[in-house]
């Protein structure tokens, strides 16, 4: 990042002139075209004149000058919306409780929680011994740690078994290359140990001095090796415990709820494997079940039993169990707890000593099911048509209480705990949203018919008094990839849209798992086109039903949802007035042809491998960058982060450059590049809302919302 500042401060001649020009008048930057061929192994060749915008080192002066010019142009183009940006930011942040704190949870005699001080971007992480009336012990003062840093994030906090040491992972760039530090909680001093290029998930062995962690490949950023670090020794001497040779697998570490085992978790799109070892001597890691294509599972251990969620002969998953003593015999001795269902999808679970809590999806909603050891089953009830229940932190298994959260587009997150013996339910916290009255809004669950006859669920919310007369503005969101389900949860930006008469909708398109595993299978690989057409068909349904005016629709998506936005912009530009594409994965074929790019090799079963002609053709059919044409496009807001490790900055940069040179309209195209952030944007509690206010103001302005 210093090199960027140096180039700009030095007044690099080309960059300075472009930036100055863009600041004087809103004249769009023009990226140079340079011949470059992208070749596939089977002989196909594509021309990519903007390939030069890729610079893995992020120091090329010409590239940096172009990005700086785009930011200057964005400043000029967005200047008229600055009052609206400020108003939105003020409204959103005013709703957020400044001195908020999490609900404390108990573990081994301590109550752990985090709290924000007024105005703070980062939390203070703390604990109290015995009760919340005991003196506070600050574990991490993140406001102090993050002060003056352009980007700052802490992940993977783990306390040693003797409760004396805290290990945590820090990222100060936004590229998810973490450094693991260890802190003496009694003295507050940092130990000299520092483990670099690590994943944020790690685990303590029972000896209180050995940390198991996943080491990343510095180029692909994939987790490759599990190593054991002994405190007080150099990281260079860390012992190798496991190395993964297959780059299609992602790797992480976990400790079971019983604390009895440490497991190496290996996952790909269609296969998984968990290798576990005793926490007392984590040296030899034995697979709970060996990997096999189209076989997925996850596990946890409580009370001498393993609970396993698996798709083995169960497309919508089932829950099975095996004892510690029989686990070495493999899946042949696994026994059903909850059999598979044709229309209920098991998404997650949490084992306790005397019952099992299950997250499952039915009709697009995520609900909570409680199952006792004697087979008695009950559901936690909901009062709204579209909602989400999610298991919260349940750190101890010897309890009749299970903690979970509930929210909807209308209802702010509420944390409950319910007693599985008595049925008593307690509200632990209702997320305070200042000035917000849920009674002013209405949420619905609609079902839009896609062009192939499939019913697509839609979660929608609007202000009371709204009339379905076809005049309103609509803001539609979706993701629709990797089997990730987009739940209808509350977000503090919503009232600012709804109070201005905007209708907000989430299209639960194929590619997610809202309707079960088949919903995902029908929205990826050969069926990926369904994701795009579902989104378009939801828009047309909502317009036809009077929820919006045809010329007042905005769409938003990020990452793989940004791919969705790029595809929609090419396929149905006439249906959208404005599109917001954040960190968009738009150069699909070129990226997937390059195994050195992070995530590429692990995604072949999500998108296909374009080194093979079959998949090359499938991906090329929708790749947004490859389908930019000389035609009218919607108004576009495109965002990226220079240090993004998930979708590299050059994908949206190339897409924007090609759009500028090709499209025939004069609709605004704004490209915002965050020079100090990665895939998730700026760090901090409030700073991200400044970014959101910017693109929401852009969209509202284009929709004619006052």
Confidence of residue 338 (pLDDT cuts 50, 70, 90): very high
Average pLDDT over residues 668-680: 84
Q: What pLDDT is stored for residue 24 in this prediction?
A: 58
Q: What pLDDT is stored for residue 559 in this prediction?
A: 95
Q: What pLDDT is stored for residue 220 in this prediction?
A: 80
Q: What pLDDT is stored for residue 682 in this prediction?
A: 58
Tokens of 632: 């009218």
CB-CB contact of 526 with 552 (8 Å):
no
Q: What pLDDT is stored for residue 177 in this prediction?
A: 84
Cα 25–29–33 angle (5° rounding)? 155
Where is average pLDDT lowest: 20-24, 312-316, 700-704?
20-24
Catalytic residues: 559, 644, 679
The DSSP H or E segment spanning 197 is strand 190-204
Instruction: Note the Cα 373 to chain centre separation in Å.
Output: 34
Confidence of residue 282 (pLDDT cuts 50, 70, 90): very high
Does the pLDDT at position 22 exceed 60? no
pLDDT tens digits, 437-460: 999 999 999 999 999 999 999 999
Q: What pLDDT is stored for residue 3 in this prediction?
A: 37
> Pick from 387, 449, 377: which is nearest to 420 by CA?
377
**How many beta carbons lie within 10 A of that of residue 79, not counting itself?**
11
Give percent above pLDDT 70 in the chain. Answer: 95
Residue 257 half-sphere exposure toward CB, CA atoms < 13 A: 22
Q: What pLDDT is stored for residue 679 in this prediction?
A: 59
Residue 58 Rama label (left phi>0; alpha psi -120 to 50; beta) = left
The model carries a pTM of 0.90
Residues in the chain: 706
Most confident of 88-97, 215-224, 640-649: 88-97
Look at residue 58 and give its three-state secondary structure: coil
Confidence of residue 316 (pLDDT cuts 50, 70, 90): very high
pLDDT tens digits, 29-52: 999 999 999 999 999 999 999 999
Does the pLDDT at position 289 exceed 90? yes
CATH architecture of 442-550: 3-Layer(aba) Sandwich (3.40)
DSSP 372-397: ETT--EEE---SSSS-EEEE-----S
Mean pLDDT for all residues in the chain: 93
CA 547 – CA 572 distance, rounded (Å): 19
Give percent above pLDDT 90 in the chain. Answer: 84
Q: What pLDDT is stored for residue 677 in this prediction?
A: 66
Tell me where in the chain the CATH 3.40.50.1820 domain(s) lie: 1-23+33-96+587-706, 442-550
Residue 168 Rama label (left phi>0; alpha psi -120 to 50; beta) = beta
Render the burial of 243-271: b for 16+ CB within 10 Å, e for the rest.
Answer: ebeebbbbbbbbbbbbebbbbbbbbbbeb
Q: What pLDDT is stored for residue 6 in this prediction?
A: 36
The DSSP H or E segment spanning 73 is helix 61-78
Between 378 and 561, the more confident residue is: 561
Residue 499 Rama label (left phi>0; alpha psi -120 to 50; beta) = alpha
Candidates 3.30.930.10, 3.40.50.1820, 3.40.50.11270, 3.40.50.10540; correct CATH number of 1-23+33-96+587-706? 3.40.50.1820
């Amino acid at each position: 990042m210093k090199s960027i500042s140096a180039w700009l401060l030095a007044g690099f001649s080309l960059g300075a002139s472009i930036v100055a020009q863009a600041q004087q008048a809103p004249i769009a930057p023009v990226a140079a075209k340079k011949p470059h061929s992208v070749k596939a192994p089977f002989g196909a060749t594509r021309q990519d004149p903007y390939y030069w915008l890729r610079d893995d080192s992020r120091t090329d002066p010409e590239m940096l000058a172009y990005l700086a010019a785009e930011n200057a142009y964005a400043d000029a183009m967005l200047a008229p919306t600055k009052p609206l940006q400020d108003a939105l930011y003020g409204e959103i942040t005013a709703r957020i409780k400044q001195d908020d704190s999490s609900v404390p949870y108990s573990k081994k005699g301590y109550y752990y929680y985090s709290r924000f001080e007024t105005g703070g971007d980062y939390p203070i992480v703390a604990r109290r011994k015995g009760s919340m009336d005991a003196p506070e012990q600050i574990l991490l003062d993140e406001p102090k740690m993050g002060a003056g840093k352009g980007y700052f994030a802490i992940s993977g906090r783990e306390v040693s078994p003797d409760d004396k040491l805290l290990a945590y992972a820090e990222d100060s760039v936004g590229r998810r290359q973490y450094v693991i530090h260890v802190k003496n909680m009694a003295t507050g001093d940092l130990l000299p140990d520092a483990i670099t290029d690590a994943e944020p998930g790690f685990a303590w062995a029972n000896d209180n001095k050995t940390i198991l962690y996943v080491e990343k490949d510095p180029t692909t950023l994939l987790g490759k090796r599990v190593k054991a670090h002994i405190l007080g020794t150099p990281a260079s001497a860390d012992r190798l415990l496991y190395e993964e040779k297959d780059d299609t697998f992602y790797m992480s570490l976990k400790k079971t709820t019983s604390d009895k085992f440490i497991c190496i978790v290996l996952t790909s799109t269609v296969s998984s494997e968990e290798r576990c070892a005793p926490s007392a001597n984590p040296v030899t890691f034995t697979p709970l079940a060996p990997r096999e294509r189209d076989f997925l599972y996850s596990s946890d251990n409580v009370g001498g039993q393993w609970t396993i969620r698996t798709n083995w002969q169960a497309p919508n998953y089932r829950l099975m169990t095996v004892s510690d003593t029989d686990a070495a015999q493999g899946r042949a001795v696994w026994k059903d707890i909850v059999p598979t269902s044709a229309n209920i999808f098991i998404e997650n679970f949490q084992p306790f000593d005397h019952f099992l809590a299950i997250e499952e999806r039915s009709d697009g909603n995520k609900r909570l099911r409680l199952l006792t050891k004697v087979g008695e089953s009950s559901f936690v009830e909901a009062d709204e048509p579209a909602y989400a229940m999610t298991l919260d932190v349940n750190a101890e298994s010897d309890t009749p209480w299970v903690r979970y959260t509930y929210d909807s587009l209308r209802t702010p997150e509420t944390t409950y705990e319910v007693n599985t013996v008595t049925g008593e339910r307690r509200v632990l916290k209702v997320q305070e949203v200042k000035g917000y009255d849920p009674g002013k809004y209405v949420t619905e669950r609609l079902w839009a018919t896609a062009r192939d006859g499939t019913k697509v669920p839609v979660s929608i919310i609007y202000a009371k008094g709204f009339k379905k007369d076809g005049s309103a503005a609509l803001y539609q969101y979706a993701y629709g990839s990797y089997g990730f389900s987009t739940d209808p949860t509350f977000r503090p930006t919503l009232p600012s849209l709804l109070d201005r008469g905007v209708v907000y909708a989430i299209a639960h398109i194929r590619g997610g798992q809202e309707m079960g595993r088949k919903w995902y299978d029908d929205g990826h690989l050969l069926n990926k086109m369904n994701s795009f057409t579902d989104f378009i068909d939801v828009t047309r349904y909502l317009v036809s039903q009077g929820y919006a005016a045809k010329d007042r629709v905005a769409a938003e998506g990020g990452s793989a949802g940004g791919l969705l936005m790029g595809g929609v912009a090419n396929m149905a530009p006439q249906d959208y007035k404005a599109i917001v594409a954040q960190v968009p994965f738009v150069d699909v074929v070129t990226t997937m042809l390059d195994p050195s790019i992070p995530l590429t090799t692990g995604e072949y079963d999500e998108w296909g491998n374009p080194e093979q002609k079959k998949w090359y053709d499938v991906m090329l059919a929708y790749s947004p960058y490859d389908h930019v044409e000389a035609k009218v496009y919607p108004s576009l807001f495109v965002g990226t982060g220079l240090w993004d490790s998930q979708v590299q900055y050059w994908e949206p940069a190339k897409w924007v450059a090609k759009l500028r040179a090709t499209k025939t309209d004069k609709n605004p195209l704004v490209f915002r590049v965050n020079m100090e952030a990665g895939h998730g944007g700026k760090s901090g509690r409030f700073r991200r809302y400044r970014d959101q206010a910017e693109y929401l103001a852009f969209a509202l302005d284009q929709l004619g919302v006052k």
